[in-house]
Amino acid sequence: MLTAYCFGRATRAERETVETHLLECRACWSETQRLLGAIRILETDPSMPGTLTPSDLAHTFGISGRLARAFGGHMMHVLLCSVIYAALYGVAVLVEVAYQFDKYGETGMAMAAVAFVWIFFTTPAGLWADWRLTRQGSSKGWAASAGILLGAAAALFAIVSPYLPSGPVTELNWQAYTAQAAYLKAISYFMILQSIFLLPPFHFVLAMQRELKEGRHRLALGLLTGDKLSVAPRGSVYPRFWVLSMLIFITAGISVFLHHNLMGNLRPSPYMNLFANLVQARLILYFLLATVCLVWYYRMLNELKRECLMAESPRIANRSSERR
Ligand SMILES: [Zn+2]
């Protein structure tokens, strides 16, 4: 409610809520000071051009103005996700050879490094393609990034699998997959992960930045606040935050079950501990990536809403129409 409050758009009840909260919250207090300061400058500075429209201002302060920057201004997010995603592929190679580390360890380490480097460079390439296409107004950005990530994973499997043992390595109470098949299975789990938590939110945020840049703030606000008549930009879907949060819980439940099942059926070996630690690391990286994407997405949805509210602000709208 802070943005609405500062721009004088809050209802009486909201205003009272905010004011009560400001008395006890340092963070919101300083945010309010910052916003009010900016608004005061906008309203009093005679050097500000009189033709400035609310959406011009929103671009200057808001998230849509960042669309022209590399990756739409989400460089850090892209790098962080790429590192975690690449580490997943590396660790997964090691998991498959861990049970006979004396025999396959050296090749395994080399292949893990190859997997890491390959995925670390191809993932940003996919997101870059999405950004370039979406910025140019194309609706094919999402498909392009999905294609690049899928192609990269397939190519990696083709490179790595000849070096993986073709028989089962892990010793379980039941017949284990061969190392190659198990790696393919791991990759398919990673594909599910990125195609739910990484690509759709990233693409949606880019597409919305473009919408806002083109001044469609009212439509965007309708979509973000659940107006039934609003549609997502062409070529994207609006991944609801609560749906993604629920999916993370469901996936976590399934993983914990599978993990227990696996750990309870390991046959003792000198490398059992190494295997268990690597599987654990893989699980942590998996959920770390999902969480990083979700937290980022939450923040970006708020940024989008903030910009919409700013553009729709009557105080600034009045002021610019008065000057005109
Ligand atoms: Zn607060």
Residues in the chain: 324
Query: Which parts of 9-74 fold into alpha helices (H)?
Result: 12-24, 26-44, 54-61
- Looking at the DSSP bridge assignments, the partners of residue 172 are 266
CA of 126 to the centre of ligand 1 (A): 37
Q: Are 101 and 274 in contact (CB under 8 A)?
A: yes
pLDDT of amino acid 323: 46
Place of tokens 């802070």: 2
**Residue 34 CA, ligand 1 centroid: distance in Å:** 14
Instruction: Compute the distance from residue 168 Cα to the ligand 1 centre, in Å.
Output: 55
Q: How far is the CA of 217 from the centre of ligand 1 (A)?
A: 26
CA of 21 to the centre of ligand 1 (A): 6
pLDDT at 314: 61
- Separation in Å, CA 126 to CA 103, 137, 139: 36, 17, 15
Tell me the average pLDDT of the chain.
Answer: 87
The pLDDT, as a whole number, for residue 48 is: 63
What is the Å distance from ligand 1's center to 181 Cα? 51
pLDDT at res. 130: 96
| DSSP-based helix, strand, coil % in the chain, nearest 5 | 80, 0, 20
Which has the closest alpha carbon to 184: 314, 268, 96, 278?
96
User: What separation in Å is there between the alpha carbon of 306 and the centre of ligand 1?
Assistant: 16
125-143 core/surface letters (b: 16 or more CB in 10 A; e: else): ebbbbbbebbbeeeeebbb
For residues 248 and 237, give the distance between their C-alpha atoms in angstroms, rounded to a whole number.
18
Q: How far is the CA of 194 from the centre of ligand 1 (A)?
A: 33
What pLDDT is stored for residue 282 in this prediction? 93
DSSP for residue 172 = B
Distance 26 CA to ligand 1 centre (A): 7
> How far is ligand 1, taken at its centre, from the CA of residue 23, in Å?
9
Amino acid at 27: A
Model pLDDT for residues 218-263, shown as the tens digit of each residue:
888 889 888 877 788 888 889 999 999 999 999 999 988 988 888 8
CA of 308 to the centre of ligand 1 (A): 21
Structure tokens at 272: 């059992």
Q: Which structure tokens are listed for 33?
A: 């000071």
Amino acid, single-letter form, for residue 300: M
Q: Please identify every stretch of the chain with a pLDDT value under 70, giving residue numbers as ranges.
A: 46-59, 314-324
**Residues flanking ion ligand 1, Cβ below 5 Å:** 25, 28
Distance 300 CA to ligand 1 centre (A): 18
DSSP labels, 86-120: HHHHHHHHHHHHGGGHHHHHHHHHHHHHHHHHHHH
